[in-house]
Amino acid sequence: MKLLPPCSYQGGKQRLAKQICEILIENADDRTKFYDFCCGSGAISIQLANFGVKPENIIMCDASSWGVFWNAIGSGTFNIELFKQYIDDLPEDKFEYKEYFENLIKKPIEHEAELYTILQAASFGGKQITRNSEHWITSSFRSYWQPTETSNRKSPVNPMQPSPNELFNRVNALAFCMKGLKCYHSDVFEMLNLDIDSNSVVYIDPPYKNTAKYQHSLEYDKFIKMFKERFNVPLYISEGYAFNDKAIKLDFNAAKGGISGNHKVTYTEYLNSV
């Protein structure tokens, strides 16, 4: 069974995960521990699992609601029946989704792990759904869009990506296959207090410098310095530029259709080893 990230997520590494993980596992054995910091939707950890890494050898960390989700998946406390109920409660009419979600996030937060990926799947452009102490925060949700006779794009734009049924199938598979991983819902600097042994590989995907704002930013120059003072293990960092001549340029040429069907963006990304 091939595992997939739950949903669309801005900044997620799904398209790059295979390239990155091939490098991470290059010198690993079946006892190597893999640390996935700022894990987000879990594309790297999921690909490691697809490559055969056991969940108990995967340690994740994220300060956002993704950390809550992955903690529940790994600990076996994710309530799949409640998650299915949230899916079943979605409107039958796709045109009603946006209003439904706009009303839903006005309610006090309950069952964060089970609800989060549903909200994230409905987020416009895959932008991160965040939260304050009581409520969810988002820029906007998707509307159901259908092409007109003059549209360049000929297929509809659905209000959730993936569809509710596909989302359930993905999360259900993750809950079954990735139970046993450990995820810390915490700031990445707290991970510097872990006992990371020499047979480990650490990967971090921080919010990139000079890009869209995230709820949780990272002073990763400071993090790198502190990490190297404490541990003598490989540390890999994704960024939009090369730190040094050891950086590996990843093969990522993204063309995104958008609603108009003609919006294209090309990204350059590097896997830096420090």
Over residues 15-44, the pLDDT tens digits come to 999 999 999 999 999 999 999 999 999 999
Residue 191 lies in a domain: yes
Distances (CA, A) of 213 to 162, 216, 242: 24, 8, 21
Residue 9 lies in a domain: no
Q: Is 250 buried (19+), middle (13-18) or exposed (0-12) by CB count in 10 A?
A: middle
List the one residue out of 198, 182, 180 whose CA is nearest residue 61.
Answer: 182
**What's residue 97's pLDDT?**
95
**Joined tokens for residue 216:** 């949780």
Residue 5 lies in a domain: no
**Joined tokens for residue 134:** 């009581």
Q: Which residues contact 52 (CB under 8 A, 6 or more apart)?
A: none
Number of domains composing the chain = 1
Contact 142/124 with Cβ under 8 angstroms?
yes
Burial 186-207 (b: 16+ CB within 10 A, else e): eebbebeebebeeebbbbbbbb
**Joined tokens for residue 208:** 């990139």
Residue 98 lies in a domain: yes
Mean pLDDT, to the nearest integer, of 191-208?
93
119-139 pLDDT per residue, tens: 999 998 888 999 888 889 887
List the one residue out of 153, 166, 182 whose CA is nearest residue 62.
Answer: 182
**Joined tokens for residue 95:** 């045109």
Q: What is the pTM of this model?
A: 0.90
Cα–Cα distance for residue pair 18/47, rounded to 1 Å: 6
Residue 193 lies in a domain: yes
Q: Is 274 buried (19+), middle (13-18) or exposed (0-12) by CB count in 10 A?
A: middle
The fraction of the chain above a pLDDT of 70, given in percent, is 90
Contact 111/82 with Cβ under 8 angstroms?
yes
57-85 pLDDT per residue, tens: 999 999 999 999 999 999 999 999 999 99
Residue 102 lies in a domain: yes
Q: Answer with the residue of higher pLDDT: 209 or 113.
A: 113
Give the chain's end-to-end CA distance (angstroms, integer).
34
Q: Answer with the residue of higher pLDDT: 149 or 159.
A: 159
Q: Give the domain range for residue 145.
A: 17-273
**What's residue 123's pLDDT?**
93
Mean pLDDT, to the nearest integer, of 200-229?
76
Residue 149 lies in a domain: yes
144 DSSP 8-state letter: P
For 218, phi then psi, to 5°, come to -145, 125
CATH number of the domain to which 93 belongs: 3.40.50
Cα–Cα distance for residue pair 197/245, rounded to 1 Å: 27
**What's residue 266's pLDDT?**
58
**What's residue 254's pLDDT?**
47
Contact 146/154 with Cβ under 8 angstroms?
no
Residue 63 lies in a domain: yes
Task: Examine the pLDDT at 167 and tell me if it is beyond 60.
Answer: yes
Distances (CA, A) of 170 to 41, 70, 72, 217: 12, 13, 15, 28
Cα–Cα distance for residue pair 117/162, rounded to 1 Å: 10
Q: What angle do CA 211, 128, 187 make, to 5 degrees?
A: 80
Three-class SS state of 43: helix
Cα–Cα distance for residue pair 149/25, rounded to 1 Å: 49
Three-class SS state of 172: helix
Length of the chain: 274
